[in-house]
Amino acid sequence: MRTLHVSDAAEGIETLFAEVTELAPSCRFRDCTHAHEPGCAVQAAVAEGSLDPERLTRWRKLLKENRDNTPVVSGPRNGKKR
């Protein structure tokens, strides 16, 4: 096996990176990407040294991999059954 792809692991990622998950609600914007937005609590923690920037990089990588490898389940249009 050369590559192990993570999928449908959002809950595990939230637990593994609890420090990021706990800081996120303190960001100014609810949809903060923790990359460049003003008022980002996660970026502030990196700047002050309380969050390792490598942890943030690994969190981003796992989130992206999870998003790319988890199938999107959608239902019927407008919630109507055919």
pLDDT tens digits for 24-78? 999 999 999 999 999 999 999 999 999 999 999 999 999 898 888 877 777 666 6
64: tokens are 């992206």
CATH number of 23's domain: 1.10.40.50
Using CA atoms, how far apart are residues 6 and 22, in angstroms rounded to an integer? Answer: 22
Contact present, 51 and 42 (Cβ < 8 Å): yes
Contact present, 44 and 53 (Cβ < 8 Å): no
User: Domain for residue 46, yes or no?
Assistant: yes
How many other β-carbons are positioned within 10 Å of the β-carbon of residue 47? 11
User: Domain for residue 5, yes or no?
Assistant: no
pTM of the predicted structure, to 2 decimals: 0.71
The b/e string for 53-67 (b: 16+ C-beta within 10 A; e otherwise) is eeebeebeebbebbe
Question: What residue numbers bound the domain in which 43 lies?
Answer: 10-69
